Structure 1
Amino acid sequence: MTVPCAIALVVVFTVVGVLLRDSDTGANFYLADQIAMVVIGVILAGLTLLWAVPRVRADTSGIEVRNVLTKRTFAWSEVLSVSFPDGASWARLELPDDEYHAVMAVQAVDRQHAVDAVRALRRLHKQARESR
């Protein structure tokens, strides 16, 4: 969904940039303004694509969570549990001292896929705990 949205932003801002001309309101648009509109569209598209970055990789040794701007790796021994609180947008790793780390790759809008992902992460967590 983010790629079509990013493409739409570039197209819309490019069309607006190309169509910008002098108007009846007295505003004057120059070539630099038209180029700036296209650049703004490209920047917004790039920011939109950041939402396609989240990923989670897990095995019996630990879990790597890449969110929009950060990437962290946890050993399963550092993780108390994998949870998906009611009303939350995404899953999270419960950590010691009442801390948690969001797992943005597992989102509530994915419904059954999110349920399956949380169950798989919980199985890996349980296997890692039992093997110690």
Structure 2
Amino acid sequence: MVRVSTSTREAAVYRPRRIRWVAVPGAAAVVILFTVLSFGLHGRTGDGMGQFARGDQGAMIGLGVLAALGILMFIRPRVQADPDHVQIRNVFGSFDLPWTAVRAVRFDRNSAWATLELHDDETVPLHALQAADKDYAVEGVRKLRALHSAASA
């Protein structure tokens, strides 16, 4: 979902694209794999000292669901920017920054994602604008730079 225009008065929302093609099917495959493996948990354990129960099968499926949720965290990132501020939601952590706190929007060569360079020499990664998304990420960085320039003027 992207709203981009040449006007710097409109908000822009960016989310990673290519990672969704991997994460969603990967999460589904993990749940299916753990479910199939859970059906193999029956009878005696390998050393013969214990016995698998239905709870063990349920726990195996539950572990698959938890692993899938962990994989789906990689589709969580989002950057939402308007003329006044930028909201960043990364895999872990969120930031809401006014443009006045931002020195530059960077997307260095060989960098996995764009970053915001702040006036206090800190950097904030923008996981939503990933190098794997190529032109989409470049378009997003250009829009963020335009919003930053408009706010600085």
TM-score (structure 2 length as normaliser) = 0.78
* Mapped partners of 2:32, 2:45: distance in 1: 25
Residue matched to 2:24: 3
Residue matched to 1:106: 129
* Mapped partners of 1:113, 1:21: distance in 2: 49
User: 1:18-73 CA distances to partner (integer Å, 9 max, x unpaired)?
Assistant: 13234795465332221111010000011111111100001111100011121111
* Residue 77 to residue 24, structure 1, CA distance change in 2 (3 Å): closer
1:92 lines up with 2:115 in the alignment: yes
Moved more, 14-23 or 40-49: 14-23
- RCO higher in 1 or 2 (8 Å CA, sep ≥ 6)? 2
User: 1:60-106 CA distances to partner (integer Å, 9 max, x unpaired)?
Assistant: 11100011121111111100000012222111000123210011100
Q: Which has the higher helix share?
A: 1
Letter aligned with residue 65 of structure 1: I
Aligned residues: percent identity?
39
* Mapped partners of 2:44, 2:113: distance in 1: 46
RMSD (CA atoms): 1.7
* Residue 52 to residue 19, structure 1, CA distance change in 2 (3 Å): same
Letter aligned with residue 85 of structure 1: D
* Mapped partners of 1:44, 1:17: distance in 2: 15
Residue matched to 2:144: 121
* Mapped partners of 1:72, 1:66: distance in 2: 7
* Mapped partners of 2:79, 2:139: distance in 1: 13
* Mapped partners of 1:97, 1:54: distance in 2: 24
Unaligned regions of 5+ residues in structure 2, if any?
1-20
Q: How many residues align?
A: 130
